[in-house]
């Protein structure tokens, strides 16, 4: 009888990380082994659920979504070390506006700044901003506005959005930077895209946020000019990996004092994944679709590398797979297509353990 670390990551649109972990654990028990459950995430939407397993407690906060509508959001706080976590998608997430037919040029990240202010009122020693799942491409301009940064020209009684990028001529970041004085501020990204250019935010993500293809060059130009203003105002390079996360909000966070870090690294540290891995004989994780992006900073890919280094056999249970995984990693498709059910996941977990622990 083996101890199996079951570190379920969300299957987007199907199962959240906790539901995936429960399904994996069911398969482990059916195989006659002992599950060690630990839901994981990498900074994308749903990460707060994973952090609850590490002692974070949700707190409600009034905010605005990407359309500027008042909504109830959540932040999370762990009192023992005074760490607050803010998930970008809780305010300006694509899930809140999908199907509404919104204009992406007017979508704003303003509400994310409101969540950061709510986190600051808890008097934390550390704030972690989880970048991912955004509906916006405003470069975090709305965040800066809500934190008190002065924009020239000012948007004039409305929330700043992507449409303001090309008109912007100056930024004063002082008031926004002051919000985080004395606080360890980090921004966790789940992609390594730059702010602008061929590997930038516009060409990487704007189409999925409903920008017309013919608008991409104009958006990229706006983000490029915005990056120059951020650099002039902060003295920090804007074109760094992760700056393009959440529609370019990574660049804004860096400009006001946040350290950009890979999301899986941040969350795994808080979840104490390394300690859990040391207790396990084998590892199971999950992914909606295993493809080349899995190995580029996503939680299951990062966990796979950790397991390989530790000499622990690992399988990724997925809805769908494209291409071959690195040597030493078993990928087990649970169903045809990414919409695997909990029962599918449990059966696939049981099958994979028969191969990992013969």
Q: Which residues of 53-82 are buried (b: 16+ CB within 10 A; e: fewer)?
A: bbebeebebebbbbbbeebebbbbbbeeee
User: Per-residue confidence at 53, pLDDT binned at 50, 70, 90?
Assistant: confident
Tell how many helices (H) and how many strands (E) occur in the chain.
14, 13
DSSP 232-247: HHHSS-S-STTTTHHH
**Dihedral over Cα of 267, 270, 275, 281: its sign:** negative
Does domain 55-264 fall under CATH 3.40.50.2300? My reply is no
Q: What is the mean pLDDT of residues 302-320?
A: 94
**Comparing C-alpha atoms, which of 333, 321, 313 is closest to residue 294?**
321
275: phi then psi, degrees, rounded to nearest 5: -65, -45
Helix 245-255 to helix 216-234 angle, to the nearest 10 degrees? Answer: 10
pLDDT(253) > 60: yes
291: phi then psi, degrees, rounded to nearest 5: -150, -165
- pTM, two decimal places: 0.92
Q: What is the pLDDT of residues 334-356, one digit of tens each?
A: 876 557 899 999 999 999 999 99
**Comparing C-alpha atoms, which of 313, 318, 282, 312 is closest to residue 299?**
318
DSSP3 helix / strand / coil % (the chain, rounded to 5): 40, 25, 35
Cα angle 25-26-27, degrees, rounded to a multiple of 5: 90
Q: What is the pLDDT of residues 71-110, one digit of tens each?
A: 999 999 999 999 999 999 999 999 999 888 899 999 999 9
**Comparing C-alpha atoms, which of 127, 48, 50 is closest to residue 90?**
48
Does domain 3-39+272-356 fall under CATH 3.30.70.100? My reply is no
- What residue spans define the domains of the chain? 3-39+272-356, 55-264
């Amino acid at each position: 009888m083996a101890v199996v670390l079951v570190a379920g990551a969300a299957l987007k649109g199907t199962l959240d990380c906790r539901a995936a972990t429960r399904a994996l654990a069911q398969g482990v028990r059916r195989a006659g082994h002992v599950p060690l459950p630990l839901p994981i995430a990498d900074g994308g939407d749903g990460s707060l659920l994973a952090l609850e397993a590490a002692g974070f407690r949700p707190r409600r906060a009034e905010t605005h979504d990407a359309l500027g509508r008042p909504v109830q959001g959540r932040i999370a706080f762990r009192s023992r070390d005074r760490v607050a976590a803010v998930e970008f998608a809780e305010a300006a997430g694509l899930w809140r506006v999908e199907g509404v037919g919104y204009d992406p040029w007017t979508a704003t990240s303003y509400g994310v700044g409101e969540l950061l202010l709510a986190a600051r009122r808890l008097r934390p020693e550390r704030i972690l901003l989880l970048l991912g799942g955004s509906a916006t491409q405003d470069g975090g301009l709305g965040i800066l506005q809500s934190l008190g940064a002065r924009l020239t020209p000012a948007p004039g009684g409305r929330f700043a959005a992507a449409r303001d990028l090309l008109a912007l001529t100056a930024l004063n970041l002082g008031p926004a930077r002051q919000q985080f004085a004395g606080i360890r501020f980090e921004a966790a990204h789940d992609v390594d895209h730059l702010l602008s250019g061929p590997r930038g935010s516009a060409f990487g993500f704007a189409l999925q946020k409903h920008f017309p293809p013919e608008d991409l060059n104009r958006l990229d130009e706006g983000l490029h000019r915005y990056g120059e203003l951020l650099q002039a105002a902060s003295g920090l390079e804007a074109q760094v990996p992760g700056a393009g996360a959440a529609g370019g909000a990574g660049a804004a966070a860096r400009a006001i004092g946040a350290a950009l870090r890979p999301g899986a690294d941040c969350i795994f540290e808080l979840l104490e994944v390394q300690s859990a891995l040391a207790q396990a004989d084998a590892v199971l994780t999950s992914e909606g679709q295993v493809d080349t992006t899995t190995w580029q900073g996503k939680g299951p890919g990062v966990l796979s590398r950790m397991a390989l280094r530790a000499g622990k056999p690992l399988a990724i249970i997925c809805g769908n797979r494209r291409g071959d995984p690195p040597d030493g990693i078993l990928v087990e498709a649970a169903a045809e297509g990414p919409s695997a059910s909990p029962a599918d996941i449990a059966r696939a977990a049981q099958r994979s353990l028969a191969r990992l622990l013969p």
